[in-house]
Amino acid sequence: MFLPLLAEWAGVRAGVSVRITSMKRTKLCLRSGVLMLAVPLCASAQLSFPTAASGPVSVEAGPHHRVWQTVTTDERGRAITNSYTELATGLNFFNPATDRYEVSQEEFRTTKDGHAVANKGQHQVTLAADINSGGSVELITPDDL
């Protein structure tokens, strides 16, 4: 809605004839027919970039890395993308429930029967309530061993 009004205003100011062929495309033509500018419009889609105030956003993750990205705009309205890669052993673990990598958490939670479970990392461990009993430690490695 805004672009047709802007095009009409620009046409009146510069002596340009304005023809809108559809909501998806606007054409501006000089009366002499020398210059034609086609601007595609996307009325239903908008691009949103993270602002510098919101900080970096994680755009990719793997078992030992995470890519952070910021997108800012300069004074001309051009998007400037900066990114860096964070590296650490065991930084993320693959969660089969969500089918993606999630941030590892070094913590145990206690179950109702007294077991201590740490399953938010690449190595998952369950400790029995009585550590002196046989088979009191169950360890699952990233290779499912």
Would you state the pLDDT for residue 53? Answer: 55
Residues of the chain with pLDDT under 50: 1-49
| 3-state SS class at 141 | coil
Residues 110 and 97 in one domain: no
d(CA 100, CA 71): 24
Residues 75 and 59 in one domain: yes
Structurally, the chain folds into a number of domains equal to: 3
The per-residue pLDDT for range 39-63, each reduced to its tens digit, is 343 333 444 445 555 789 999 999 9
Residues 75 and 89 in one domain: yes
Would you state the pLDDT for residue 90? Answer: 93
The boundaries of the domain holding residue 14 are: 2-40
Would you state the pLDDT for residue 68? Answer: 96
Residues 62 and 93 in one domain: yes
In a domain, 85, yes or no: yes
In a domain, 145, yes or no: no
Residues 110 and 67 in one domain: no
DSSP per residue, 13-65: HHT-EEEE--SSEEEEE-TTS--EEEEE--SS-------GGG--EEEEE-SSE
